[in-house]
Structure 1
Amino acid sequence: MTAYGPSSGPPTSASSDRPSLVIVGAGPRGTGLIERIAANAPELYAGSGLDIHLVDPHQPGAGRIWRQAQSPLLWMNSHAEDVTMFTDETVTMAGPVREGPTLHEWAGIDGRTFADRQLQGAYLSWVHDRAVAALPPEITVHHHPRRALRVGGAHEGRQQVWLEGLARPLLADLVVLALGHLDAELGADQRALTSYAREHGLVHLPPDFTADSDLSALRAGEPVLVRGFGLAFVDLMVLLTEGRGGRYEGDVYVPSGREPVLYVGSRRGVPYHSKIGYDLSGERPPLPRFLGPAEVEALLARPDRFDFRRDVWPLVEKELGFAHYHRLFTAHPERTTVAWTDFEEKYAAADAVEREALVSAAVPDPSDRLDLAALDHPLDGMRYATHEDLQEGLRGYIEDDLRRRHDASHSADLAVFLGLLSVYGQLVRLGDIGPWWHGFFSYLASGPPGPRLRQIPALSRAGVLKFVGADMTVRAEDGVFRASSATVPGHSVEARALVEARLPEPTLGRARDPLLRALHTDGAAETPDGLLRVDPVDGRVLDRAGRPHPRRFALGPFTDGRTPGAFTRPRTGGPAFRQNDATARAALAFLRDLACRAAA
């Protein structure tokens, strides 16, 4: 039986001669790696001893983000049936498939439920325990509930992983960084706002994980400027309304009187699109079609560095359009004027201008056409005469979005969602393509549950939440924070509190994690956007000359191999699973060969 339990120090001298793998981060990504090690070990590592050391101050499986000690009001933003930690036949990988239950199957809940994060944490802990139990008996797992501070050691020799509070390091033949989402030191603009707030007795909450933020300084009835309208905002909204005793009676919000008044704006000025509230029936779009492995290989083979907007985005547009129109023509042919086979042939051969003319002729209703630019900038050029007009206009916009995203007659939207997943799975192989794509994907495909989005108009009608508009600007002047937007010309809002409702940016140079900062200092490569560069084949950490470190790997959102969303939707190919499998196999093969050389 595999031994497993917390460890307060380095391995004993009796075990230090065994091969050793240190995994820093025991949350979902670390758990996924252990699951793949267990799946691949019978083929690649049979009969050899191995110590796996998990380094994480939080509970293995759930980690920090999905820990039990958080409000039950905080939900996942995926249906329970769309959350799995297990591979299936759609994942392209060398290792064996080991299927297991989705969250809803494990918990025995309705698949369309948006589970709270505490329940997801329990699922992750169970998955972790199952993965550890599946390891061969000669592989032993130790949990060290501490933070890792730095990694040292010769390029070709054993690594040393220094832990907080310990005088001696863990010795490791290989190290895998699976750190998950990171905190970051403030940039110059945020430091200036924090300093201004301190000087004038104001409140400034910089980017943070909302569940970790101290919201007690946001006082009842007082205006609070909120910059950001994504998932971090939804968490903030929930904690400051229901979390302070408010309640909903149908579509009416009944305040407790303890809520502040939230003035929210962002670049787009609108919330992320609602999760789609129906299932896809009938034929799925055959993806990938215009952005698949061959196109990615061609981009990677270019002698010059490809440009995302010039070289990649046109392929993305064509792929998403193909998904959209395939569904429209096959599921709703009465809303088109030509046969799908004729349209598809012309669509495949057309450039962007020709496609626009083709769509205009074949799809009479503009609401049935895919306009990605309009989706990305819904308030562009829109002006409201008064602040009150904007409130009414955005309530209508959100309610229209909710209706559409829960109406199967618009099932082409779900096909686009599947197209986005397919595209992201391909783009992962290109490395760092800049932050815009990730934000666009999240806005369209990773928005809040419909019930949460439905609460926003109710809070607006109750006067607890007010919209500021698109391209919201915040000025620190006259002893207050002042926000405005061109959406309502000449109007501004002032407040003594400002909340940045977004996550910290995972950059190497500003990471609060001391281990990553030390790697950066020691020569690990970073992308222009500050992500850790890794080998796309197996996740090995790259140096600034592009050389992979033989004994260090990294997986997760702080790398340029980051994947869409926190979890994988079943039977969608799961690029995170593919990465976990490749890293596990590379690690096991290295350790096997190392053991063979030692025995020779």
Structure 2
Amino acid sequence: MRKTSAAADLTTGGDASTASDSGGHRADLTFIGAGPKTLGILLAIAANTDAGAGLRIHLVDPYPAGAGRIWRTEQSPHLWMNSRTEDITIFPDESCLLENPGIMGPTLHEWIHGPGRERLTQAGLGAEAAGLDSQSFASRRVQGHYLSAAFELALDRLGTEVHIHRARAEAVRRGEGDRGFVVTTSDGAEIATDVLVSAQGHLDMHTAEQDAVLADRAAASAGHDLYYQAPGYTADLDFSGIPAGAEVLTRGFGLAFLDFMVMVTEGRGGEFVDDGERLRYRPSGTEPVLWVGSSRGVSYSPKLGYSQVDVPGAPAVALRYLDRVSERTGSVGGDRRGSGQRLGESSRFIEFDAVLGPLFELELTYAHYEHVLWKRGIDAPELLERIDATAERVRAGRIGADGAEATTGAVFETIAEAARDVITDEADLFDLDRINRPLADLRCDDLSSAEASVRDHISGQLKRSADVHHSADLAVFTALVKAYVQIRMLVRDGRVSNGDRTEFVEGSFHSLFSFIGSGPPPKRVRQILALHEAGFVRFLGPGLSIDAAAAGFTARSTAYPEAKTFTHLVDARLARQSAEKAADPVLETLRADGRLLLETAAHAKLRTDGAGRALDAHGRAQCDLFLLGPAVSGSTAEAFTRPQTGAPVFADNERIAGAILDAVAAGSDRRELLAG
């Protein structure tokens, strides 16, 4: 394996692509979806020396190439990223092991203050760019320009003409002689292509049954004027139907809520004023009042306000257990929740609840206590040894599994007891359940008391996130990210069953990861508190449940006995990805033609082989059809990532790009053979 090389600049420039005509087109390779995932594949193709030269490539996407839908440059300036500029790159670096020298380039931070400055200034974003440092959270518009510049670099390195269709793919059918595909776009173009790649990112879903009930209730509310907004991407939703002063029941307290919150406050002309001591909100008079609740009842944990450089000498965080989990043989059982193996294989799976889940928690527990012992100068190696010994028992199948010698809860309690013997500060103890569900046991006599508890918790988390005294939280965050990536790689490699992936990895585990590790910038949390103080954000608390009736939507929380009824309801979340429920005409057509294989599991995904080739209804890999994205089983969904982490997405891109180029070459050979 060789490390990447061949660094490159991203210079400013205009749209280097060519506009398409209506009518017929001939392509070697067509991508449906031209966002960051496709950009990563194009960069990998361009890095494969001269392999992409001369290819006829078509891209079909109604949104700008490179940036795509989520990161398009024409959207509200109030919508931010939730990662710091220094933590974002679309390019591999020297930490990545690749077969070919990759096309290297700047991180978002380096680009903003280097080759991207002129481009941002020309786009009217010069003032924002000047105020961004490595720890800043840029707007999504800035990220869109970064990705657009990277796309132009990819085009330059490809050295070939790329046709861009700013349109939707409406239909797809097999080509003549059952070779290749013909893609029909919404602007009337037909593209006959040898190889087709679907890389559409998050897909829109058909309305889920429970959401449809709420929508139908709102539509049938004669005389009650009920309003319901189903899950969706905030930038694409129209909230103009929510009048000033309306009390809005808002389900979901994650990143989608924050987008909604800012769009109907600052986005309606309100203003946040920082007086140094606190953040205050100056209303415009057009705001609704958002009553927010969720299962946890609190906002996602804010990003930490310090980094590793603020904790010199701290123990390095590395995986201790999950990176060796594939070596084990105990507690690897059959799939109890649906088949997850590739057709023709006899592989077995590592159970999540008996093995992966406990080892994940032990990774975080070890990282926390190793840091606390170092930080506080406590000599207690026996605590860390107990965690290691527990991990070995988990790996051997002696904890948590059927017939095991101990339950998972019991062994974690023994670790907690050992920690309490040597650590005197309650704030230095680690309890993942308490972190994940901080208000699960909250019981109050009334709503106002519950609101105060929610406010105090959010305020306390904001203060803690800025306090380097609690730098063990950074160690836990680092372990969390490494463990998350490792488990996702096990999913990709077919070591986790479909059932476990659906229930745990994409369910409770992903929810925990998002809550702890994918939270908002601290300023967003300050804005929540400022809006609460101003009376525009109210807290319903944890354990939220909703009942729909003719008079409205009634919300209840487990924290207090009162119920409250609303005429306006917004589901502030994205619909969970499911290929079966995808509202996408191309995938629906391919499924109807038997070109796609769907998993047999809840929230089913599409099946591919290890190189992204789609499996047909009989489980056969199709060399000319590739599937990428969140609705695809085993696909590495992310496109950009953190630099200097050896992120696997770049090796995945290289492998998939190689398979695509092989397929293109095979298609060309077939055409030449037929022509001869």
Is 1:285 the counterpart of 2:332 in the alignment? Answer: no
Taking the TM superposition and a 5 Å limit, the aligned residue runs for 1:182-221 are 182-200=203-221, 201-221=225-245
**Identity rate of aligned residues, in percent?**
38
Q: Which residue of 1 aligns with 2:399?
A: none
Q: Which residue of 2 aligns with 1:327?
A: 371
Q: Which moved more, 1:156-165 or 1:398-407?
A: 156-165
Q: Which moved more, 1:560-569 or 1:503-512?
A: 560-569
Give, in whole Å, the separation in 1 of the partners of 2:431 and 2:247.
36
Aligned residue type for 2:258: V
Taking the TM superposition and a 5 Å limit, the aligned residue runs for 1:357-506 are 357-429=417-489, 430-431=491-492, 432=498, 433-434=501-502, 435-436=506-507, 437-489=509-561, 491-506=562-577
Taking the TM superposition and a 5 Å limit, the aligned residue runs for 1:259-274 are 259-274=287-302
Say whether the 8 Å CA contact 1:149–1:161 is kept in structure 2. Answer: no
In structure 2, the residue corresponding to 1:259 is in which secondary structure? Answer: coil
In structure 2, the residue corresponding to 1:113 is in which secondary structure? Answer: coil
In structure 2, the residue corresponding to 1:292 is in which secondary structure? Answer: helix
* Superposition CA RMSD, Å: 2.6
Give, in whole Å, the separation in 1 of the partners of 2:49 and 2:327.
31
Aligned residue type for 1:202: L
Which sections of structure 2, spanning at least 5 residues, go unmatched? Answer: 1-14, 114-131, 333-340, 394-407, 493-497
Aligned residue type for 2:156: A
TM-aligned CA distance change 1:536 to 1:8, over 3 Å: same
Give, in whole Å, the separation in 1 of the partners of 2:609 and 2:564.
47
Give, in whole Å, the separation in 2 of the partners of 1:252 and 1:236.
19
Which sections of structure 1, spanning at least 5 residues, go unmatched? Answer: none
Give, in whole Å, the separation in 2 of the partners of 1:349 and 1:215.
54
In structure 2, the residue corresponding to 1:150 is in which secondary structure? Answer: strand
Q: Which residue of 2 aligns with 1:170?
A: 191
TM-aligned CA distance change 1:543 to 1:599, over 3 Å: closer
Q: TM-score, structure 2 length as denominator?
A: 0.81
TM-aligned CA distance change 1:598 to 1:248, over 3 Å: closer
Give, in whole Å, the separation in 2 of the partners of 1:525 and 1:468.
42
Q: Which residue of 1 aligns with 2:647?
A: 574
Aligned residue type for 1:77: N
Q: Which residue of 2 aligns with 1:68?
A: 73
Q: CA deviation at 1:125?
A: 0.6
Q: Which residue of 2 aligns with 1:53?
A: 58
Give, in whole Å, the separation in 1 of the partners of 2:566 and 2:251.
13
TM-aligned CA distance change 1:566 to 1:99, over 3 Å: closer
Taking the TM superposition and a 5 Å limit, the aligned residue runs for 1:39-118 are 39-42=47-50, 45=51, 49-108=54-113, 109-118=132-141
Give, in whole Å, the separation in 2 of the partners of 1:538 and 1:274.
37
Say whether the 8 Å CA contact 1:21–1:50 is kept in structure 2. Answer: yes
Q: 2:620 aligns with which of 531, 536, 547?
A: 547
Give, in whole Å, the separation in 2 of the partners of 1:33 and 1:392.
49
Q: Which residue of 2 aligns with 1:38?
A: 46
Q: CA deviation at 1:196?
A: 0.8
Give, in whole Å, the separation in 2 of the partners of 1:112 and 1:149.
42
Aligned residue type for 2:21: S
Give, in whole Å, the separation in 2 of the partners of 1:504 and 1:333.
44
Q: CA deviation at 1:157?
A: 5.2
Is 1:295 the counterpart of 2:326 in the alignment? Answer: yes
In structure 1, the residue corresponding to 2:581 is in which secondary structure? Answer: coil
Give, in whole Å, the separation in 2 of the partners of 1:577 and 1:529.
29
TM-aligned CA distance change 1:168 to 1:458, over 3 Å: closer
Taking the TM superposition and a 5 Å limit, the aligned residue runs for 1:139-158 are 139-153=160-174, 158=179
Q: Which residue of 2 aligns with 1:508?
A: 579
Say whether the 8 Å CA contact 2:40–2:639 is kept in structure 1. Answer: no
Q: How many pairs are equivalent?
A: 584
Give, in whole Å, the separation in 2 of the partners of 1:470 and 1:457.
17
In structure 1, the residue corresponding to 2:220 is in which secondary structure? Answer: helix
Aligned residue type for 2:59: L
Give, in whole Å, the separation in 2 of the partners of 1:265 and 1:486.
11
Give, in whole Å, the separation in 2 of the partners of 1:292 and 1:156.
47
Aligned residue type for 1:267: S
Q: Which moved more, 1:213-222 or 1:294-303?
A: 294-303
Q: Deviations over 1:260-310 (max 9, x none)?
A: 111100111111110111111345634232112652896689854443222
Give, in whole Å, the separation in 2 of the partners of 1:226 and 1:123.
33
Q: Which moved more, 1:106-115 or 1:569-578?
A: 569-578
Aligned residue type for 2:31: I
Q: Deviations over 1:10-47 (max 9, x none)?
A: 665xxx4xx711111111111111111111244xx27x
Say whether the 8 Å CA contact 2:608–2:633 is kept in structure 1. Answer: no
Aligned residue type for 2:100: G
Is 1:338 the counterpart of 2:343 in the alignment? Answer: no
